[in-house]
Amino acid sequence: MVEESGGLSGNKDNKGNGVDDENFPEKVQVGSSPVYKVEKKLGKGGFGQVFLGRRVSGGTERGPGATEVALKFEHRNSKGCTYGPPNEWQVYNAVGGIYGVPRVHYKGKQGEYYVMVMDMLGPSLWDVWNSSAQSMSTDMVGCIAIESLSILEKMHAKGFIHGDVKPENFLLGQRSTDQEKKLFLVDLGLATKWRDNAKAQHVEYDQRPDIFRGTVRYASVHAHLGRTASRRDDLESLAYTLLFLHRGRLPWQGYQGDNKSFLVCKKKMSTSPEMLCCFCPAPLKLFLEMVVNMKFDEEPNYAKLISLFDGMIGLDPTIRPLNTEGAQKAIQIGQKRGRLNLEEDDEQPKKKIRNGIPATQWISIYNARLPMKQRYHYNVTDARLAQHVEKGSEDGLFISCVSSCTNLWAVIMDAGTSFTTQAYEVSPFFLHKEWIMEQWERNHYITALAGAANGSSLVVMSKGTAYSQQSYKVSDSFPFKWINKKWKEGFHVTSMATSGTRWAVVMSRNAGYSHQVVELDFLYPSEGVHKRWDGGYRITCTAATSDQTALVLSIPRRKPGDETQETLRTSQFPSVQVKVCC
């Protein structure tokens, strides 16, 4: 049986909300709330829609008895209500009413909808920016930075991250009221916990490249890559929000199509803070540099981040375009204590977590094990490959690993395999399906794989493995959804290779692993690898295109005697560093 763009050896959606119902009730009453008449639509989000609600009789200016309120409707069949009331309800129960987050006065279900009755607010920062010739003053952006950091600090202190920081989700208070210069953060539909309250510790790191949460324009790189959200992601999204409001445009705007998120993430990774902030005030560049290099579980130094923007705002709080009361309660803004904060804990330079470009370096994996005979060859042409392999075979060695660079091959042969026989083929195809299926019939399984930039491939198939079934897929993008499907069927990734921008992934049954994960990045995922190592995983497979690198890490069913593993990144084949025992 052969799968599309791949093969299978013998033995072998996001649908949106799914809601088109626009029949909203004319009047609303939930719980013990007054009766509200549903008037004009104020906005629409990924999960619900917000309307102006006007109290039928009586009322006050603000609070539970307000004459005007915001009514948020979410259909019971929406993806946010799969298991009952929206997740947003639970988040508002925990953070509603803290500084900068509006209160939910009533909530309940009416007909087909879950309804929240909330404080009525004013325009969003996007509305303000758009109505001001799509520009904002430096003073205004500085105030937004300070106040939004204060709000996020208080939300994070409650154990939650917002998950969708953007100009549309920051609202000012109602116009012509004493709230009109206050900033509020709304729409908590994508909020998640960064702290496991039961264990009183940070949630565990993970990566699911098929899952994206947020808004493409402002999402953090980690969100694009499907990593577990943490406090750093809110701050990176805030940096892009501030830059958008100041610059009026971000370099990754305009991408379209199914791979929009991929292209935007790639552009974010390749655009340096210097380039992105070249016409911006220095504090924006400093802020961006600090937040994009935060570790997954790092606690932000909010006071330090706030102090960066001291020089962008006026000294007199009464004439600032935005209220900065939140920051003033914690620290005194505008009193030149920023330099002191900036110099704290800066004695040693912070190691950047984004480094190394895929396919411009060799990534070598070293495992500690008993001494054995091992041999390597690199810069091998197609014509010389047979000579090296035959010599190794005469010495009792089998190919254990292959790779390619500039259409030349690198081959490692050693005596530590359990193989009994081996076959290999250099083919102009990526991959040669007929030959592979022929070898499957002979009970040979793919044990090593490499692809060249010119589209050719080197496939090594061996007999004597523990594999009982094998499947492979060739794809124009990293096939994580297919991998995830195969994991559920009992397969594990055992080989990977790339050719140009194309990926080939081989998965096998009875591979000897109890669990497996993927680290996918546009750069070398140093932090992710170390997190996985700490969890007992070891790198068992890796490949890279010019854009992306993918590392597969596995937990073996049988615990190895020595679990030590190291990685080495070099600009050329690491012939000097390779440990050889002949």
521 is a catalytic site residue: no
Residue 161 three-state SS? strand
Catalytic residue among 21, 119, 127, 164: 164
Phi, psi values for residue 408, rounded to 5°: -115, 155
Give the Cα-Cα-Cα angle 346, 350, 351 (nearest 5 degrees).
Answer: 165
End-to-end Cα distance, the chain: 42
Strand partners, 414: 374, 398
The CA radius of gyration of the chain, in Å to the nearest whole number, is: 28
Looking at residue 105, what DSSP letter applies?
Answer: E
**Measured distance CA(503)–CA(523) in Å, rounded:** 17
**Measured distance CA(506)–CA(446) in Å, rounded:** 8
**Measured distance CA(150)–CA(333) in Å, rounded:** 12
**Measured distance CA(432)–CA(426) in Å, rounded:** 9
In order, the DSSP letters of 390-402 are: HHHHHTT-EEEEE
Supply 260's token pair: 């929009």
- Positive or negative torsion for Cα 385, 391, 394, 399: negative
Closest by CA to 292, choosing from 105, 566, 565, 527, is 527
Locate tokens 């309660």: which residue? 329
Supply 154's token pair: 């208080």
Q: How many residues does the chain have?
A: 582
**Measured distance CA(554)–CA(557) in Å, rounded:** 9
Closest by CA to 289, choosing from 366, 346, 357, is 346
What's the one-letter identity of residue 250?
L
Name 526's Cβ contacts closer than 8 Å, sequence gap at least 6: 353, 355, 356
**Measured distance CA(210)–CA(233) in Å, rounded:** 18
What's the one-letter identity of residue 406?
T
Q: Where are the beta strands (DSSP E) in 58-169?
A: 68-75, 104-110, 113-119, 160-161
Name 183's Cβ contacts closer than 8 Å, sequence gap at least 6: 100, 144, 147, 148, 151, 170, 171, 172, 322, 323
397 cis-preceded (ω within 30 degrees of 0): no
In order, the DSSP letters of 492-534 are: EEEEEEEETTEEEEEEEES-SEEEEEEEEESSB-HHHHHHHHH
Locate tokens 């989700």: which residue? 169
Are the beta carbons of 71 and 50 closer than 8 angstroms? yes
**Measured distance CA(187)–CA(165) in Å, rounded:** 9
Q: Was 72 annotated as part of a binding site?
A: yes
Residue 70: CA atoms inside 13 Å, Cβ hemisphere, count? Answer: 21
Q: Which residues are annotated as a binding site?
A: 72
Q: Which residues are annotated as a binding site for ATP?
A: 72
Residues acting as catalytic residues = 164
